[in-house]
């Protein structure tokens, strides 16, 4: 009871559904708190988790029963044979233990197969749940967070970090629970010899589990966390190197850049090798501890056999049953050594969730369709000088204005604010007569078509990229939009026409062609407010003039905001505003 009173405060966890004083011992803080949102999601399938854990336990207990009963049967057969050889009348029922051995062998094989299939299916379901949850979080993220994030970071979240959480059940929770239950069963089995042996074995199992789980996690938590962070950094640098290899080769810097990547990789490998060494030592400790426990069981058993309280075959049964625990113990060190990396992954995913926008219903009751107003807006990407400082402008429905200025004057930021891609630090953005982005709030993206400064075409056909504007768009509307952007004749001459593959980011097209395809997609939105940021980028003067004339007709009656570095790069507008 004294031991229990000492252990209970240490293993009490403060976080859901336990308390984290236990895991706080690992790193000195409440690391379990980072896992809580994802554990809640995982435990929504608690029925499958319990059944899967039960199958793992059945497999382990079948192995324990197979080894123990085989040892009993072999020893009993040897003892019976020796007695008969000495002329002593002795008999042995071989059918019951033989049937038991076959039962455990078949049960272990079938349970292992069913467990692998069932838990594999469970893991896939959990993987889908986790990725859907993360994707929903990213889709509802504050727009400025999406703008500042790297594509490689998003890849790490969807692959590396989700995979780390995906292993929580199959590598951490289920094996640990099974190891504890199997240890209790084997310790209870030792009561056949003596209560002292049962207590000794239970103490060995508890101490061993503590060392290879929490002890190993504590020893490696910082190393594995740093390794996961370093891996994400290296992955980002590799992707950036591949994307910019043309410039690096042209500048003769590819070799130096590759050397730095190799140095970073070698630096990352050092903590990983240290972790693997600790895992190897822990696995060796498991082997030595179980063999030592078997030796202790034999010593206690021989003493009990000498006193006549237990038979020889039962002593061997207990000793060999201990070896069956190795199957579940041996996988725990690697899983808990990676615990720090799992927590680091959960921490990054939770950081993404902290920038999630609250859901709001779409606004359909526009009081003034097409009206647009920046009302005393201020915005900055950092705590330094704001990009936009107390800017005010009101556009009536159908008004068309051009905004020009030097690089960094805030033209594109005004477009982002009007389209709802960033939230103002102060002031108010109104669209269609309704508040669009209250300060530090969220808005509803509807009724605004925005050609951004850096447009993106998806890796698909030309038609697929254009239909993203409106799934119900007709072929006639598509060809009309292509005519407006001066691309209809060119597309008609392509062998595959609208089915032409544009490649990743539109790389199969020229810069001017990709820009006009993006503009056609913007026009197909049929929105009352149209924002065009540098619409003539990559176009020759003649094409730009023809496009400008076509846009004047196409955008007649719509509210238009055109952004450019000077007036010559603007389409036809009613008035021009210059930013200082």
The CA distance from 295 to 116, in Å, is 33
The owner of tokens 């009561």 is 191
φ/ψ (deg, to 5) at 83: -65, -40
pLDDT classification of 26: cutoffs 50, 70, 90: very low
Bridge partners, 501 (sequence order): 461
Residue 143 above 70 pLDDT? no
Q: Domain ranges for the chain, please list them.
A: 30-354
Is 274 within 8 Å of 223 (Cβ atoms)?
yes
Question: Is the model's pLDDT at 438 over the cut of 70?
Answer: no
212 neighbors 326 (Cβ within 8 angstroms): no
Average pLDDT over residues 185-213: 92
Residue 491 has pLDDT above 80, yes or no: yes
Residue 285 scores a pLDDT above 90: yes
Most confident of 205-209, 364-368, 564-568: 205-209
pLDDT over 70, % of the chain: 87
Question: How large a percentage of the chain has pLDDT more than 90?
Answer: 21
Helices (H) and strands (E) in the chain, counts: 23, 9
pLDDT at position 525 over 50 = yes
Candidates 89, 43, 98, 90; CA nearest to 70 is 98
Reported as a single tens digit per residue, the pLDDT across 249-267 is 777 778 887 888 888 788 7
**Tens-digit pLDDT profile for residues 384-424:** 677 888 888 898 888 999 998 888 788 888 888 888 777 78
Angle between helix axes 174-189 and 312-323 (nearest 10 degrees) is 170
Do residues 428 and 438 make contact, with C-beta atoms less than 8 angstroms apart?
Answer: yes
- In degrees rounded to 5, what are phi and psi of residue 502? -90, -15
CA distance 516 to 481: 10
**Which of the listed ranges 153-157, 328-332, 568-572 does the model predict with the highest average pLDDT?**
328-332
**The pLDDT value given to residue 15:** 40
Task: Please report which confidence band the pLDDT of residue 142 belongs to, taking 50, 70 and 90 as the band edges.
Answer: low
pLDDT of residue 141: 65
Domain 30-354 superfamily per CATH: ABC transporter type 1, transmembrane domain (1.20.1560.10)
Q: Which residue has the higher pLDDT, 175 or 144?
A: 175
Find how far residue 132's CA is from the centre of its chain.
10
Question: Which position has the token pair 């730009």?
Answer: 544
pLDDT at 271 over 90: no
Instruction: Determine the pLDDT at residue 436.
Output: 63
pLDDT of residue 536: 86
Q: Residue 289: exposed, middle, or buried by beta-carbon count in 10 A (0-12, 13-18, 19+)?
A: buried
What confidence tens digit (pLDDT) does each residue in 306-358 have? 888 888 889 999 999 998 898 889 989 988 888 888 888 888 888 776 655 55
pLDDT above 80: residue 282: yes
| pLDDT tens sequence across 507-524 | 788 888 888 888 999 999
Task: Give one word for 530, left, alpha or beta, with left for phi > 0 and alpha for psi -120 to 50.
Answer: beta
Report the alpha-carbon distance of residue 25 to residue 11 in Å, rounded. 9
How far is it, in rounded angstroms, from Cα 345 to Cα 355?
Answer: 16
In this structure, what is the dihedral angle of CA atoms 429, 432, 435, 438, given to the nearest 10 degrees? Answer: -30
DSSP state of 511: H
User: What is the average pLDDT value for the chain, to the nearest integer?
Assistant: 82
Residue 440 has pLDDT above 70, yes or no: no
- Beta strands 372-379; 388-395: pairing state: antiparallel
pLDDT at 195: 93
pTM of the model: 0.70
CA distances from 73 to 68, 80, 98, 316, 447 (A): 9, 10, 8, 9, 80
**Mean pLDDT in residue range 153-174:** 79
In this prediction, residue 31 has a pLDDT band, given cuts at 50, 70 and 90, of low
Convert the pLDDT of each residue in 210-263 to its tens digit.
Answer: 998 888 888 888 888 888 778 877 877 877 777 777 777 777 778 887 888 888
Bridge-partner residues for 530, per DSSP? 449, 560
The half-sphere exposure of 34 on its side-chain side, counting CA atoms within 13 A, is: 24
Question: Residue length, the chain?
Answer: 580
SS3 at position 317: helix
Q: How far is CA 510 from CA 313, 454, 480, 506, 514, in A?
A: 83, 14, 21, 8, 6
């Amino acid at each position: 009871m004294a031991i229990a009173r000492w252990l209970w405060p240490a293993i009490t966890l403060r976080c859901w559904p336990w308390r984290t004083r236990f895991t706080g011992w690992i790193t000195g803080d409440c690391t379990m708190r980072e896992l809580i949102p994802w554990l809640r999601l995982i435990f929504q399938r608690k029925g499958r988790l319990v059944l899967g854990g039960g199958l793992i336990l059945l497999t382990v207990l079948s192995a324990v029963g197979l080894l123990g009963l085989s040892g009993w049967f072999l020893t009993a057969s040897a003892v019976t044979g020796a007695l008969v050889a000495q002329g002593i009348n002795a008999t042995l029922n071989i059918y019951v233990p033989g049937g038991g051995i076959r039962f455990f062998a078949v049960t272990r094989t079938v349970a292992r197969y069913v467990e692998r299939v069932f838990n594999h299916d469970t893991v896939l379901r959990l993987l889908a749940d986790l990725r859907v949850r993360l994707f929903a979080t990213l889709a509802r993220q504050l727009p400025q967070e999406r703008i500042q994030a790297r594509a490689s970071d998003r890849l790490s979240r969807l692959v590396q970090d989700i995979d780390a959480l995906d292993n929580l059940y199959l590598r951490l929770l289920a094996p640990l629970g099974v190891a504890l239950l199997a240890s209790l069963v084997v310790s209870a089995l030792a009561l056949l010899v003596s209560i002292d042996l049962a207590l000794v074995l239970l103490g060995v199992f508890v101490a061993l589990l503590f060392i290879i789980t929490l002890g190993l996690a504590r020893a490696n938590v910082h190393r594995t966390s740093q390794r996961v962070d370093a891996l994400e950094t290296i992955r980002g640098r590799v992707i950036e190197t591949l994307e910019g290899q043309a410039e690096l080769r042209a500048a003769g810097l590819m070799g130096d850049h590759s050397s730095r990547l190799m140095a970073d990789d070698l630096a990352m490998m050092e903590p990983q090798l240290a972790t693997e060494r600790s895992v190897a030592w822990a696995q060796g400790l498991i082997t030595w501890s179980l063999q030592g426990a078997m030796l202790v069981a034999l010593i206690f058993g021989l003493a009990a056999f000498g006193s006549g309280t237990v038979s020889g075959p039962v002593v061997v049964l207990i000793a060999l049953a201990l070896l069956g625990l190795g199957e579940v113990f041996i996988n725990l060190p690697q899983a808990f050594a990676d615990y720090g990396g799992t927590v680091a992954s959960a921490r990054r995913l939770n950081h993404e969730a902290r920038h999630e926008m609250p859901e709001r219903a779409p606004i359909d009751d526009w009081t003034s369709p097409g009206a647009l107003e920046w009302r005393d807006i201020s915005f900055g990407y950092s705590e330094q000088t704001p990009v936009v400082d107390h800017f005010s402008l009101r556009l009536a429905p159908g008004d068309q204005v051009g905004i020009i200025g030097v690089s960094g004057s805030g033209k594109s930021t005004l477009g982002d604010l009007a389209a709802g891609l960033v939230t103002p630090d102060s002031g108010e953005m109104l669209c269609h007569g309704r508040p669009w982005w209250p300060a530090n709030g969220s808005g509803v993206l509807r009724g605004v078509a925005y050609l951004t400064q850096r447009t993106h075409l998806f890796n698909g056909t030309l038609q697929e990229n254009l239909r993203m504007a409106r799934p119900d768009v007709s072929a006639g509307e598509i060809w009309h939009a292509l005519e407006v952007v001066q691309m209809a004749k060119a597309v008609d001459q392509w062998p595959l026409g609208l089915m032409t593959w544009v490649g990743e980011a539109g790389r199969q097209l020229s810069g001017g062609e990709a820009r006009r395809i993006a503009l056609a997609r913007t026009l197909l939105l049929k929105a009352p407010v149209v924002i065009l940021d540098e619409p003539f980028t990559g176009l020759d003067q003649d094409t730009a003039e023809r496009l400008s004339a076509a846009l004047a007709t196409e955008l007649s009656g719509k509210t238009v905001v055109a952004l450019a570095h000077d007036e010559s790069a603007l389409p036809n507008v009613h008035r021009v505003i210059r930013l200082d």
